Structure 1
Amino acid sequence: MDRPELADFLRRSRARLSPADVGLTGGPRRRTPGLRREEVAQLACMSVDYYTRLEQARGPRPSRQMLTTLARALRLTADERDHLFHLSGEEPPRETAGSGHVRPGLLLVLDRLHDTPAQVVSDIGDVLAQNAMSVALSGDASARPPAMRNLMRRMFTDPSAAELFPPEDREHLARASVANLRAVLASRPDDPRAAALVAELRAVSEDFARLWDEHHVALRRSDAKRFLHPVVGELTLDCEVLLSAGHDQQLIVYTARPGSRSYERLQLLRVVGLQDLTAR
């Protein structure tokens, strides 16, 4: 681990970002060029003290998971992420469809969406990044154990996940999710992560096994989806799916039609949900 070079790289990466680049409000009287240390720590879900020690070349060796979150917080490209890993004495992740590295372009779009829920999801259902409105709508995926950040695994193994949707919609949502996963596996039959997820869910969920055996194949498309929120009530939202260049990551954006009851409730969620996040 090259602590001095790592510290210098972190400082320079932080200095070249503005608050607007990461979806934060700059506020008055900013003397620090770029982001503040506490802002990077917040984005990376680590303590300010831990991050400060890294920048002062006296911190402990970061874990691979911590390096991944730092790369995302600092909006590093794939090459810059690999450099960060090398400076920390770690082998960079293999650049595969399941690497989990969110491209800076997708994060830039996500950061600009302040008034509507949006998240970046891998093609097999791993939630990779969320904006504040997405957290307010469906909960903070980063607060769950890593395995349960996968939407497919939650849908078929966690009964509480179904509470987010009306009972009459759940079969359709499950069938569409399984059909999407089958299409992904068909396009990448040698992908061990997709194959392992299918094998796991077939073993633990009778519903998944039943739907898998129906052999429906269809990639996730734009659709309308109903949500049951415990505070603002039912919302009917249009779901737009924007694919990355390699089609292995998706930016999913939920919008409500202006003037509708769901639009009004989404505006209420923005106030209530973000107040709750601030309190926490």
Structure 2
Amino acid sequence: MHRAQLATFLRGRRERIRPADVGLLAGRRRRTPGLRREEVAQLAFISTEYYTRLEQARGPHPSREVVGGLARALRLSDAERDHLHQLAGLPPGPPPGPPRTVRPSVQLMLDRLPQSAAFVTSAMLEVIAWNGLAAALMDDFSARSRRDRNLARHAFLGSEDRADRLYGVSDGDEFARSAAARLRRTAARYPDDPEVAELVDDLLTGSPEFAALWAAGDVDTAPMLRKTFQHPVVGPVTVNCDALDLTDQDQHVVVYTADPGWPSDEALRLLAVIGTQHMSSAT
């Protein structure tokens, strides 16, 4: 184990993380940048004394479980996680699970796209960030639990009416094939993540369609570049679909835009005004 290098690496990453990045309040008495040692220890589920000894190059050989906890607590990228394993004298293992939070800068980017419906999905196809127009076009995600914000669950276990599945979108069957292929890749990347395993098991048990697509073994599908939503208030909305990869987070930013001057463009502008109020008025 490279104790000195490990200590330097841990200290540098700890000081780089802002408390808000891990859901903590900065407070007025915080004198040093980044997290405190006790905060990292708490997030990694180890004792503060043990973590302090690691940062002082006095700690014993950390186990794979400890290294995994530190990687999660310090929000390490895959490359940084592998490096941490090497410093600890351990061969890198599979990532513990897909990241389920977005960087604040990504949410800021979504909010600055007022004429586009934009959202972020995790590797499990859970909607983990969105802007107001995405909520107005698709669903008020803020009113849904994490479980109910999963697009795969919505597509395969939602409405039995195929014409109404996934917010009445025109390419529901294509999305279903893409979702099954993406989840197969996700399950291979995160074989030890219980939430991934639970999701796949629920879909296999509850959806014969998903079971058939899963059995086909596809891991690649053609991108969906254009689709039409059947909206309950403004009617059909045809949008261009572009997806951007956040490779370090294994996340996708999806952006829906309408062609300028067309009825769908006017429909999006109207949705931007009325927001999610239509959710209650249409029922």
TM-score scaled by length of structure 2:
0.61
1:125 aligns with 2:128: no
Per-residue deviation, residues 217-243 of structure 1 (Å, max 9, x unmatched):
226845212211100111111111111
SS in 2 for 1:124: coil
1:163–1:228 contact (8 Å) kept in structure 2: no
Separation (CA, whole Å) in 1 of partners of 2:271 and 2:187: 36
Separation (CA, whole Å) in 1 of partners of 2:37 and 2:111: 23
Partner of 1:175: 177
With over 3 angstroms needed to count, the CA separation of the structure-2 counterparts of 1:13 and 1:97, relative to structure 1, is closer
Partner of 1:195: 197
2:97–2:190 contact (8 Å) kept in structure 1: no
Partner of 2:218: 216
Letter in 2 for 1:180: R
What aligned pairs does 1:125-274 form with structure 2 within 5 A after superposition?
Answer: 125-159=125-159, 162=165, 164-166=167-169, 169-218=171-220, 221=223, 223-246=225-248, 248-273=250-275
With over 3 angstroms needed to count, the CA separation of the structure-2 counterparts of 1:70 and 1:253, relative to structure 1, is farther
Point out where structure 1 has 5 or more consecutive residues left out of the alignment: 1-11, 15-66, 72-78
Separation (CA, whole Å) in 2 of partners of 1:258 and 1:70: 42
Separation (CA, whole Å) in 1 of partners of 2:121 and 2:273: 25
Separation (CA, whole Å) in 2 of partners of 1:134 and 1:103: 18
Separation (CA, whole Å) in 2 of partners of 1:231 and 1:185: 38
Separation (CA, whole Å) in 1 of partners of 2:253 and 2:203: 24
What aligned pairs does 1:87-106 form with structure 2 within 5 A after superposition?
Answer: 91=44, 94=72, 95=75, 96-106=96-106
1:183–1:218 contact (8 Å) kept in structure 2: no
1:86 aligns with 2:39: yes
Letter in 1 for 2:39: H
Q: Alpha-carbon deviation of 1:188?
A: 4.0
Per-residue deviation, residues 141-171 of structure 1 (Å, max 9, x unmatched):
23122211211112111217716225x6322
Partner of 1:3: none
TM-score scaled by length of structure 1:
0.62
Superposed CA RMSD in Å reads 3.5
Q: Alpha-carbon deviation of 1:198?
A: 1.3
Separation (CA, whole Å) in 1 of partners of 2:216 and 2:262: 37
Q: Alpha-carbon deviation of 1:274?
A: 5.8
Partner of 1:35: none
2:99–2:249 contact (8 Å) kept in structure 1: no
Per-residue deviation, residues 197-221 of structure 1 (Å, max 9, x unmatched):
2122101211111111122222684
Point out where structure 2 has 5 or more consecutive residues left out of the alignment: 1-17, 26-32, 46-68, 76-95
